[in-house]
Amino acid sequence: MTNKEYDVIVIGAGHAGCEAALASARLGCKTLMLATNLDTVAFLACNPSVGGTAKGQIVKEIDAMGGEMAINADKSLLQMRMLNRGKGPAVFSPRAQVDKNAYHVNMKRTVENTPNLFLRQGEATKIVRNDNGGFDVTTAVDLTYSCKAAVLCCGVYLNSRTLVGQCVRESGPNGFANARFLTQSLVDLGFSVKRFKTGTPARVRLNSIDLNKTVEQRGENDVAPFSYVTDKIPATKRSCFLTYSTAETKRIILENKHLAPIYNGSINGVGPRYCPSIEDKVVRFADKEKHQIFLEPESEDTCEFYVQGASSSMPASVQEQIYHSIEGLENVEIMRDAYAIEYDCIDATQLDATLMAKHVSGMFFAGQINGTSGYEEAAGQGLVAGINAERYVHGKTPFTLRRDNSYIGVLIDDITTKENTEPYRMMTSRAEHRLILRQDNADLRLTELGRQIGLVDDNRYNKFLAKKQQIEQGEKQLQTVVSPKIYAPLFEQKNEPVTGAGLTVDEILRRTNITAKDVQTLGFLKDLNADALYQIEIECKYRGYIEKEKEAIAHANKLENKALPEDIDYMKIDGLRLEARQKLNNIRPKNLGQAGRILGVSPADIQILIVYLAQNIHK
């Protein structure tokens, strides 16, 4: 007989499930991860890429705390680029094109070889409280497993259906079987369930594309790997290509708009505003005659290319017309049709900052079941949920991330305090302290936390300490005064005015046209590696802005540090507007900072709460 008792059961083996299960097992919990199909482990159901704007920051944060996504992306790399180079370092975002097949194989191998972690194919059909205060999870083949804590990472599989025009299938992504019964258990446990929708474009045959009509986009060799334990990224293995839709594309879509499920009532779920289908883009942005389309390789072992920017749920015959109207795709062969998928998810305001349900202790949720979109957002939640599941089992203090120390903290705070009416996607604009939360300093922000939790091993930690030592060594040199005789030739070369007075290394580096490498030619900062050198340059050039951010964080923390009692009855607080009372009673924020971010709670309501706390609680 198989031992069916576990500390933690993770339901789902996507990006959230893998991070949750790995974290739980690595921290010492006997962990079972259930997958509807073992071929779905870390499967890239949509874009064959990892990272991107804001998402790259999340991947770096996962890695800094000892997660797996960054390491796996580096292992599976086809090419790497740094986005937003034309802007400031606050929004620099690494993005990798990865081998879809290799990514799945590499992650599955990691899962299979992790002590304490047991991978099992099986559709979870029911989850209930058991007599021991834990949970019993029953599968479709009538096996029941028990656990002390459960992490639900069901992705887009709950009651999902895919749509290609009028062809509707009860299935998960890529033709995988869906999960048909688990939603009812969640409803029975008191969860509010809603219906969301997303989509994916067609996959097309590479040698049927006229690449002469596209712009090749190779990877960049001067980008750091995602993981701090990866020494160097490999050379570009496959290129991407940029092309555009046309006026003909627009005409075809508008003439066939009535056939699109998103417009004829066939789809009930709400789709992502920031990742619309090609038909939605044409309708919403009617003034534009063309849209960017990126052609991206799926793997080294296939000629399938992903048509990013052209997801659709139109009938297959219309899809062919649409794709043939795109520049360079006039004779393209479609290998897999584009489709939309709608699915059940929960209202994440029912969760606290640990991603545990407020009304069902020991039950955690992560990923698209929380109403988010994106592999990276899912993985970040999975890591936090997995950590907290282990801490719950072993009676440890819960672990939370904050808005001022991570993008993952922003993400979790947003979904647990704001009622999202569409799939949530992380963007740099959502992080008010993004100059502090850069992709290059994720290790400096979070590795110590990961070490305290127990996920950062000696190898990673020693690399982190070496980097900190290098930075400290460089910072000591910043106050060295340099004679104008030494720096004048460089200033003249760089068109910087020479004052005739001695300048500190710090003052020299703060000049607009002077880089850290220029300073090295003067004999300073020479012994630093590229990573430490970059940190010193960014901190030096943006010091004034960074100090302002730190002041803003300190001010915001005054509200974050004012806790709200768990048993407070907001309906009885005079002066609060009715909407604020209802929202506060429903979401139950932990502190005044969270309360102020709830939609429907105004600054005036917060002032009333401050007075209430002063008079009744904080005496």
pLDDT at 185: 98
Amino acid (1-letter code) at residue 386 = G
Mean per-residue pLDDT over the chain, rounded: 94
d(CA 481, CA 215): 49
pLDDT at 194: 95
CATH fold for the domain made of 468-548: Arc Repressor Mutant, subunit A (1.10.10)
d(CA 51, CA 376): 7
328 close to 214: Cβ distance less than 8 angstroms = yes
Confidence of residue 275 (pLDDT cuts 50, 70, 90): confident
Report the candidate in 464, 399, 447 with the shortest Cα–Cα distance to residue 64.
447
pLDDT at 618: 54
Strand partners, 363: 150
Return the percentage of the chain with pLDDT > 70, whole number: 99
d(CA 133, CA 396): 17
Three-state SS annotation for 128-170? EECCCCCEEEEECCCCEEEEEEEEECCCCCECCEEEECCEEEC
Yes or no: is domain 562-616 CATH 1.20.1630.10? no
Q: What six digits make up the tokens of 329?
A: 């795709």
1 has a pLDDT exceeding 50? no
List, for residues 401-435, the tens digit of each pLDDT value: 999 999 999 999 999 999 888 999 999 999 999 99
Confidence of residue 267 (pLDDT cuts 50, 70, 90): confident
3 has a pLDDT exceeding 70? no
Q: What six digits make up the tokens of 492?
A: 């003249």
| CB atoms inside a 10 Å sphere around CB 145 | 23
| CB atoms inside a 10 Å sphere around CB 316 | 15
List, for residues 48-96, the tens digit of each pLDDT value: 999 999 999 999 999 999 999 999 999 999 999 999 998 889 999 999 9
Least confident of 221-225, 269-273, 536-540: 269-273
Tell me what the mean pLDDT of segment 567-574 comes to.
91
Confidence of residue 2 (pLDDT cuts 50, 70, 90): low
296 has a pLDDT exceeding 70? yes
171 close to 178: Cβ distance less than 8 angstroms = yes
Opening angle at CA 305, ends 53 and 79, nearest 5: 50
Determine if the pTM surpasses 0.85.
Answer: yes
Strand partners, 510: none
Report how far apart, in Å, the C-alpha atoms of 389 and of each of 8, 86, 125, 158, 525 are.
Answer: 7, 41, 21, 22, 44
- What order do you get walking across the sheet with 77-83 strand by strand? 49-51, 93-98, 77-83
Q: Is the alpha carbon torsion for 390, 394, 395, 397 positive or negative?
A: negative
320 has a pLDDT exceeding 80? yes
- Residues in Cβ contact with 593 at an 8 Å cutoff, skipping those fewer than 6 apart: 556, 557, 559, 560, 562
Domain ranges of the chain: 5-198+343-453, 203-340, 468-548, 562-616
Q: Fold identical between 5-198+343-453 and 562-616?
A: no
Confidence of residue 274 (pLDDT cuts 50, 70, 90): low
619 has a pLDDT exceeding 60? no
CATH fold for the domain made of 203-340: Elongation Factor Tu (Ef-tu); domain 3 (2.40.30)
Instruction: For tokens 């922003």, name the residue.
Output: 410
Rg of the chain over all Cα atoms, to the nearest angstrom:
26
- Residues in Cβ contact with 504 at an 8 Å cutoff, skipping those fewer than 6 apart: 478, 479, 480, 481, 482
Yes or no: is domain 5-198+343-453 CATH 3.50.50.60? yes
Helix (H) or strand (E) holding 419, with range, is none
> Residue 305, by phi and psi: left (phi above 0), alpha (psi -120 to 50) or beta?
beta
* Candidate ranges 285-289, 326-330, 540-544; pick with highest mean pLDDT: 326-330
42 close to 19: Cβ distance less than 8 angstroms = no
